[in-house]
């Protein structure tokens, strides 16, 4: 990730960092604080002084991709780490991660939206390509029998294996799009080529289809 991917705007009460490579255009920022995040304008489009630091923090927490990060200058509480690590399956779409994320050896915050269709040009992040590709994958697979985890929070390490799946290590609840628990794991390989018959888990299909990703 280069510095050119990140736009930083500092205001009196907070600094906003916007990482365009991670953005999935959910528009929660524009709809939540339209005075701060100005759509369809020429020139500067982020004004951190148009809302309180508390309001900016709410927008950041509601950004599913982690593209928006807010650093407060008013002494208020920063974004907490989640008490339960989760990956949610979006219907016909990506993996929504909410955890203390360490991705490819780098701490990237608590929110990320990762590709599982195999078509993203911004791997391992989702870039919306699943829509144009007609990707089909349920967000409501059946639940497995799994024991409660002794520890539910802490670092979740995600390793994108070259031309292969996403390896995850750490306490994790995999949940459906509606929030139902699908499985509880401490280690798993999640499909990101889009072809597994065991989604969200890898079944080795990436080798069969010649999947290529860094």
Which residues of the chain register pLDDT less than 70?
1-4
- Specify the CATH number for the domain of residue 56: 3.30.70.20
pLDDT in tens, 123-135: 999 999 999 999 9
Residue 42 within a domain: yes
State how far Cα 167 lies from the chain centre.
15
Q: 166-175 and 14-19: which strand pairing?
A: unpaired
Examine the domain organization and report whether 22 and 60 are in the same domain: yes
Number of domains in the chain: 2
Predicted local distance difference test score (pLDDT) of residue 50: 97
- 181 within 8 A of 91, measured Cβ to Cβ: no
Is residue 81 domain-resident?
Answer: no
Retrieve residue 196's tokens: 């597994």
**Predicted local confidence at residue 5, as pLDDT:** 79
Q: Tell whether 92 and 158 lie within a shared domain.
A: yes
Out of 72, 98, 130, pick the residue that ends a domain: 72
Domain region containing 142: 86-209
- pLDDT value of residue 187: 98
The structure's pTM equals 0.91
SS3 92: coil
- In angstroms, the CA 82 to CA 18 distance is 21
As given in the structure block, the two tokens for residue 204 are: 């080795």
Boundary (domain end) residue, out of 39, 72, 105:
72
Q: Beta-strand (E) ranges in the chain?
A: 6-10, 14-19, 68-72, 86-89, 95-103, 106-114, 155-160, 166-175, 181-190
Same domain, 65 and 92: no
- What pLDDT was estimated at residue 128? 95
| In-domain check, residue 189 | yes
């Amino acid at each position: 990730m280069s510095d050119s991917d990140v736009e930083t705007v500092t205001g009196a009460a907070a600094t906003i960092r916007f990482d365009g490579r991670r953005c999935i255009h959910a528009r929660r920022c524009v709809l939540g604080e339209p005075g701060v995040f100005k759509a369809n304008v020429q020139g500067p489009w982020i004004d951190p002084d148009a809302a309180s630091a508390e309001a900016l923090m709410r927008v950041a927490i509601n950004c599913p991709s982690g593209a928006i990060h807010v650093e407060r200058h008013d002494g208020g509480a920063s974004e907490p780490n989640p008490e339960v690590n989760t990956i949610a399956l979006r219907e016909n779409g990506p993996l929504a991660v909410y955890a203390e994320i360490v991705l490819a050896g780098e701490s990237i915050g608590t929110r990320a939206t990762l590709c599982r269709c195999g078509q993203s040009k911004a791997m391992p992040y989702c870039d919306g390509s699943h829509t144009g590709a007609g990707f089909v994958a349920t967000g409501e697979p059946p639940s497995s029998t799994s024991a409660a985890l002794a520890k539910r929070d802490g670092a979740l390490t995600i390793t994108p294996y070259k031309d292969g799946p996403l390896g995850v290590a750490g306490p994790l609840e995999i949940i459906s799009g509606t929030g139902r628990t699908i499985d509880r794991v401490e280690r798993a390989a999640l499909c990101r080529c889009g072809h597994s018959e065991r989604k969200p888990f890898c079944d080795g299909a990436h080798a069969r289809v010649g999947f290529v990703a860094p």
